[in-house]
Amino acid sequence: MSTDANPGTNPDANPDVTPVSSADFEPVTPPDRDIRAQADARQRDLTKPAGSLGRLEALAGWASACQGVCPPHAFARPRVVVFAGDHGIARNGVSAYPPEVTAQMVANFLGGGAAVNVLSEVAGATVRVVDIAVDGDTDPSVANHKVRRSSGSIDREDAMSTEETLQAIAAGRAIADEEIDGGADLLIAGDMGIGNTTPATVLIAALTDSEPVAVVGRGTGIDDAGWIRKTAAIRDALRRARPHVRDTVALLRTSSGADLAAMAGFLAQAASRRTPVILDGVVVTAAAMVADELAFGAREWWVAGHRSTEPAHTIALTRMGLEPIVEFDMRLGEGSGAVTALPILQSAVAILSKMATFSEAGVSTQGSALAEEPESIDLTKTDTAE
């Protein structure tokens, strides 16, 4: 059934979050191209063979363009925001864990005991968790943006109503504003929700016109029987999703969940506020695909932290032209892959800002290939010769 026809009243909705239209997002201003050119020129003048640091050079140029200054400075306040929500489809046996784990993990994030807490401490980032649609009570400190409890089972009903979809997008926008206004200069979105790879995969398959067998992965580690159930659920959900691929809000309403819609609003608003983002795995990247529809050009403010083992993630990254910084066969979510990539991005920035130029170091380039200008480096390419 369609919850849009009769949305009703949601007792868990936050009355302080005002729904917004997707049209409220203006086209995004790209990172500063003139600064990027300055960064590329400085990169060629550093004491090394041109292009010898591969994608570190491209990452530094991207960071410099995002910051609007050359040389760039280290990111001082990177912030991870974990969006938590439950999904009705999880009751269909598409995950190796029961839905109750979501609320338990929210408490674990608050206690600092999750993988993303540990990785963030090492990388110099801080972590916030927000309850967007957990099917249970959580600490009031994380529930002020809660939209509803869980979502509909998207293989047979809408995930939520149109009103709730808009409220979730608004919540994500508000969270991005809170973090940026609070001083965050780099954002990472993380996810926590049992069964959330199923709606994420549906979104990616719908937006890329992919078939279920090409996109379905093992998620939290399901067995063959679970994979078959998950494939069937995605097949049925895709039938409901495909008529809405040209209507972003309708697609989110039908086939996502409030947490994914909030992530999409968060990522779109971050780009609108000219704040760079490291994307995580398949769930966040699915939300990013939607965010780029909401705010055209948003993808230029993102880099892909890693490539997860989920087949849909590679499909989504390819569609958006993003090449992952690391490939460690990770599939946890939480923002863990993006946080793992953060020190590499910081290293790229340090190279461009702290490494000596030929003139500063008194190193000659006359008659040397060191002085030759290489072709421009593309973040989507990794085959730089040593």
Task: Give 155's contacts (C-beta < 8 A, 6+ positions apart).
Answer: 89, 92, 232, 233, 234, 236, 237, 240
Q: Which of 75, 74, 76, 81 is nearest to 116 (CA)?
A: 81
Q: Determine the Cα–Cα distance for residues 152 and 196; give it in Å rounded to an integer.
A: 12
Q: Which structure tokens are listed for 97?
A: 């864990």
Assigned token pair, 42: 């400085």
CA distance 83 to 262: 8
Q: Which residues contact 93 (CB under 8 A, 6 or more apart)?
A: 226, 229
Q: Answer for the pair 270, 180: CB distance below 8 angstroms, yes or no.
A: yes
DSSP 355: S
Tell me how far apart the alpha carbons of residues 348 and 362 are, in angstroms, rounded to a whole number. 23
| Measured distance CA(366)–CA(386) in Å, rounded | 21
CA distance 77 to 80: 10
Give Cα separations from 112 to 127, 128, 189 (angstroms). Answer: 9, 10, 17
| Residues in the chain, total | 386
Q: Is 334 a catalytic residue?
A: yes
Catalytic residue among 57, 179, 310, 334: 334
Tokens of 59: 């990452």
For residue 339, count other CB atoms closer than 10 A to its CB: 29
136 φ, ψ (degrees, to nearest 5): 165, 175
d(CA 286, CA 317): 9
Say what angle helices 282-294 and 248-255 make with each other, to 10 degrees: 150
Give yes or no for a contact between 185 and 77, defined as CB atoms under 8 angstroms apart: yes
Q: Which residues are catalytic?
A: 334
